[in-house]
Amino acid sequence: MNPSISAEATLTRGPLDDAKAQLAQAVAQLDVSEGVHRMLATSRREMAVAVPLRRDDGSIAVYEGFRVQHNFSRGPAKGGLRFSTAVDLDEVRALAMWMTWKCALVDVPYGGAKGGVAIEPRDHSVGELERVTRRYTSEILPIIGPDMDIPAPDIGTDERTMAWIMDTYSASKGHTVPGVVTGKPIALGGSLGRASATSRGVAHVALLAMASRGLEPARASAAVQGFGKVGRDAARFLQEAGVTVVAVSDVDGAVVNEGGLDVMRLAAHVDTTGSVRGFDGADELDRDALLTLDVDVLVPAALEGVITEDNAPDVKASIVVEGANGPTTQAADEILTDRDVLVVPDILANAGGVIVSYFEWVQSNQAYQWRESEVNERLGERMTNAWHAVVEHAGVHGTTYREAATALAVKRVIEAHDLRGLYP
Ligand code: NAD
């Protein structure tokens, strides 16, 4: 083997290394046997599939697809489906593990899963995306289902993707099975409040974190990385709470207005042009400079691994609320902790999505729709409970919020595992 390649491979840390390091930290706090630790560090089931696509011009492309189910101790597996060229098996494994902890932390009866197809959705027509989704669904069909594994939207997928999955699955069963996915269109049994649930939860804990640091919303400023399903409404909810949202970014660039962006007007601009760039109510900013802006609250809501040991020393926000999964690398996390930056970890901050996905699954299985106010109220309750549990655990054990959240979650998964016993 080429020595330079192997050296690089050992030096490059990815999300799975971070997820495993976080698990190891949690295990160190708890009385966990080596065997159970090894079990929790390993996915229970992994499926890699080829997804052939007949393109609109008649040619055939083939994409890699994955579905990873990390744990089932507390219930069926649950997790998003991502369409992105960055998707690989290790990323999906990390995201599935984080889903297990997230579901346990907010006490929804699921284990963790994640799926992905290594495709750039912006390069494809709606027809091509539908064919890719249906083919991927048919490939992973044996391992999904309302009692087995329930996908939801993530990066590059949306409620339309969920409708195609639901239809493909239902066609194979011969009857409609709405509970096989969450994040569906309302007309197909989606839950009121699901589309903005992750963002609502992000804003909810951001406000709790600000209160814990004596920061009044009306005097606070925020920057949000990513203006997709999570970032856009997180910015909106923060603004509605009185926070001055000074900057947002997307894959194409960033915009800044020290006096505060008009988030709704910016959203209309993005709907028309496809990007935050060129918005007349703000100045352009280097995309990645958003992360080190002089704001009180930073909300990374795009990708993993964006706050690194290189830029963490320059982060000026005193609170980081992880809207995205895994946006802070392990090394960056240590730097932020040393600098007394309060990091609200992903498995707490963005859990609003899976909480309302759970509500949607309950409603789908019962064929009964709740009022939106009911959904939002129950979401707020669960986020607040999880927040207080994490703060209390961190206080008692002298840990960061991430360590506390992971330890609480791991403890619950182990409890379920112990009660069930190891088969056979
Ligand atoms: P999305 O595809 O709807 O939006 C992603 C956004 O990030 C887009 O605006 C995109 O332009 C932007 N982006 C991509 N690369 C960027 C870069 N380098 N710099 C700045 N912006 C960039 O995806 P989403 O559903 O909003 O997911 C975002 C994150 O939140 C992911 O980590 C996802 O796993 C996590 N998450 C999503 C949900 C959910 O309900 N959708 C729930 C929990 C966690």
Q: At 292, which CATH number?
A: 3.40.50.720
Domain boundary among 349, 372, 391: 349
Same domain membership, residue 249 and residue 176: no
Same domain membership, residue 304 and residue 207: yes
pLDDT at 6: 40
pLDDT at 13: 85
84 CB near ligand 1 (under 6 Å): no
- DSSP E strands: which ranges in 98-233? 111-117, 149-153, 221-225
Asked, for residue 148, whether it belongs to a domain, the answer is yes
Domain boundary among 327, 349, 371: 349
Nearest residue (CA) to ligand 1, atom 38: 154
Same domain membership, residue 244 and residue 151: no
3-state SS, 82-126, equals EECCCCCHHHHHHHHHHHHHHHHHCCCCCEEEEEEECCCHHHCCH
Q: What is the pTM of this model?
A: 0.96
Same domain membership, residue 238 and residue 174: no
Domain span at residue 134? 45-180
Ligand 1 center to 301 CA (angstroms): 5
CA–CA separation, 327 and 336 (whole Å): 13
Ligand 1 center to 304 CA (angstroms): 9
Same domain membership, residue 306 and residue 255: yes
Query: For residue 404, what are the CA distances in angstroms to 21, 28, 386, 417?
Result: 14, 12, 11, 20
Asked, for residue 321, whether it belongs to a domain, the answer is yes
Same domain membership, residue 317 and residue 292: yes
Same domain membership, residue 203 and residue 128: no
Asked if 245 and 319 count as a contact pair (C-beta separation under 8 A), the reply is no
7 DSSP 8-state letter = H
Asked, for residue 186, whether it belongs to a domain, the answer is no
Asked, for residue 40, whether it belongs to a domain, the answer is no
Q: How far is CA 73 from the centre of its chain?
A: 21
Same domain membership, residue 148 and residue 227: no
Percent helix / strand / coil, the chain, rounded to 5: 50, 15, 35
The tens digit of pLDDT for each residue in 214-259 reads 999 999 999 999 999 999 999 999 999 999 999 999 999 999 999 9
198 CB near ligand 1 (under 6 Å): yes
User: What percentage of the chain carries pLDDT values higher than 70?
Assistant: 97
Same domain membership, residue 159 and residue 247: no
The residues annotated with a catalytic role in the active site are 114
Low-confidence ranges of the chain (pLDDT < 70): 1-12
Asked, for residue 318, whether it belongs to a domain, the answer is yes
Asked, for residue 141, whether it belongs to a domain, the answer is yes
Asked, for residue 25, whether it belongs to a domain, the answer is no
Domain boundary among 299, 323, 349: 349
Asked, for residue 27, whether it belongs to a domain, the answer is no
Count Cβ atoms within 10 A of the Cβ of residue 141 and give its class: 0-12 exposed, 13-18 middle, 19 or more buried. Answer: middle
pLDDT at 11: 55
Q: The domain that contains 60 carries what CATH number?
A: 3.40.50.10860
Residues contacting 315, CB < 8 A, separation 6+: 291, 292, 298, 307, 336, 339, 341
Same domain membership, residue 212 and residue 94: no
226 CB near ligand 1 (under 6 Å): yes
Nearest residue (CA) to ligand 1, atom 17: 251
Tokens 């949306």 locate to 158
pLDDT at 2: 39
The tens digit of pLDDT for each residue in 43-93 reads 999 999 999 999 999 999 999 999 999 999 999 999 999 999 999 999 999
Domain count, the chain: 2
Report helix angle 15-29 to 89-105, nearest 10. 40
Ligand 1 center to 173 CA (angstroms): 32
pLDDT at 377: 98
Ligand 1 center to 335 CA (angstroms): 24
pLDDT at 10: 44
Asked if 40 and 26 count as a contact pair (C-beta separation under 8 A), the reply is no
Same domain membership, residue 132 and residue 216: no
Same domain membership, residue 201 and residue 76: no
Short-list 387, 319, 327, CA closest to 351 = 387
Question: Which of 204, 251, 269, 270 to probe ligand 1 with, by most ligand atoms within 8 A of CB?
Answer: 251
